[in-house]
Amino acid sequence: MRQVVTTRNGGVEVLEVQNATNPNAGSGEVVIDVRAAGLNFADILARQGLYPDGPKKPCVMGYEVAGVVEKVGDGVDPTLLGQPVVAMTRFRGQAEKVAVGANQVFAKPGGLSFEEAAAIPVNYLTAYALLVVMGGLRKSESVLIHNAGGGVGLAALDIARHIGATTYGTASLGKHAFLRARGLDHPIDYRNQDWLPVLKQLTNDRGVELVIDPIGGAHWKKSYEALRTTGRLGVFGVSTASANGLKGKLKLVKAALQMPRFHPLGLLNKNRGVFGLNLGHMWHESEKVAEWVQAIMTGVSEGWIRPYVDKTFAFEQAGEAHSYLELRKNKGKVVLVP
Ligand SMILES: NC(=O)c1ccc[n+]([C@@H]2O[C@H](COP(=O)([O-])OP(=O)(O)OC[C@H]3O[C@@H](n4cnc5c(N)ncnc54)[C@H](OP(=O)(O)O)[C@@H]3O)[C@@H](O)[C@H]2O)c1
């Protein structure tokens, strides 16, 4: 089989398509013939050497796939054979075949293409955990979605709209028309102006009840300032550090130094909350995640979960796919196909 290998830390030139032996299904596992694999910002940070959770290099990245079950191991329901599925993979997803625990595999919704199905797991589980599970967003409330035009951003928008909350979102200006068409109430250009005064003006100086922030560093302090009374800040990424080589390492150190410290008494007196989410640290909670998947798949069948694939790249174009995200060209999801 062919797979996309991140050979070492570096720019997109370190990505290579290499041949490898087909995997076998161990006990409790299935092997999926991969038709589409999601690309995530974590794959880029891993290539840059800035992702502490990434496997040792050389490695095959990939947290999610859609495909067809072609082998089942001991203890796995044999009727899964030949079924179209979507799965969470703990790396190695960007390959023609992947072995994965049967508890991480879910039926592919019939109305979605393999590419659309591969766009669901990471983006929608992250957004669901941030907005519903930990953020407790309610109909009467408002939410600020940073990077609203990205993969997690669009997923969060679908969920916030379903809840009925008022939505604010930061994004590059070129994505605003698209975001309005997807239902975002208030797009904010954060690249050419300071977004906080704009948000304050739009909310009559009150702020919002929920902010989800994947940018990190000093940006988390600013997002905290955007909270209304009873507001919650969900932190879930440090994309501000993204860069190759030494520059990336320095940006990561800077981001760490500039992160705010939240004092419990400050939270208490301001009626605010701060929480963090790392989906990659949920593998031991597969039952909880399966329940979230169920809610998301219900959303697919009801039509309010609408995975949006911006662009599909062949494995050989993995470098172009990475650049597409790094250069902020993507609206929603980028998917790799074998
Ligand atoms: N903790 C978790 O469990 C978890 C799970 C999934 C994702 N994440 C994090 O969530 C963020 C979004 O992930 P994603 O996979 O959905 O990616 P994405 O948002 O589709 O990624 C790219 C978009 O992010 C924006 N962006 C902001 N800062 C950027 C930078 N320094 N370089 C490039 N783009 C930047 C750009 O949009 P604009 O044009 O609007 O600037 C760009 O189009 C990442 O930080 C990721 O690490 C965390």
**Which protein residues touch ligand 1 with a CB less than 6 Å away?**
40-42, 122-123, 126, 147, 149-153, 171-172, 175, 214-215, 236-237, 239-240, 242, 277-280, 325-326, 328, 330
The tens-digit pLDDT sequence of the chain (338 residues) is 999 999 999 999 999 999 999 999 999 999 999 999 999 999 999 999 999 999 999 999 999 999 999 999 999 999 999 999 999 999 999 999 999 999 999 999 999 999 999 999 999 999 999 999 999 999 999 999 999 999 999 999 999 999 999 999 999 999 999 999 999 999 999 999 999 999 999 999 999 999 999 999 999 999 999 999 999 999 999 999 999 999 999 999 999 999 999 999 999 999 999 999 999 999 999 999 999 999 999 999 999 999 999 999 999 999 999 999 999 999 999 999 99
Separation in Å, CA 143 to CA 85, 167, 270: 32, 5, 18
Give strand ranges (E) for 89-163: 97-101, 105-107, 142-145
In the block, residue with structure tokens 């030494």: 246
- Nearest ligand 1 atom, CA 147: 40
Mutation test of ligand 1: which of 152, 188, 285 has the most ligand atoms closer than 8 Å to its C-beta? 152
In the numeric block, which tokens belong to residue 196? Answer: 């906080």
- Nearest ligand 1 atom, CA 326: 33
In the numeric block, which tokens belong to residue 331? Answer: 């609206």
pLDDT, position 134: 98
The pTM is what? 0.98
Position 278, amino acid: N
The sign of the dihedral angle between the CA atoms of 130, 134, 137, 141 is: negative
Position 126, amino acid: T
pLDDT, position 27: 98
pLDDT, position 53: 92
How far, in whole angstroms, is CA 147 from its chain's centroid? 11
Between the CA of 333 and the centroid of ligand 1 the distance, in Å, is: 11
- Nearest ligand 1 atom, CA 327: 33
pLDDT, position 295: 98
Between the CA of 319 and the centroid of ligand 1 the distance, in Å, is: 17
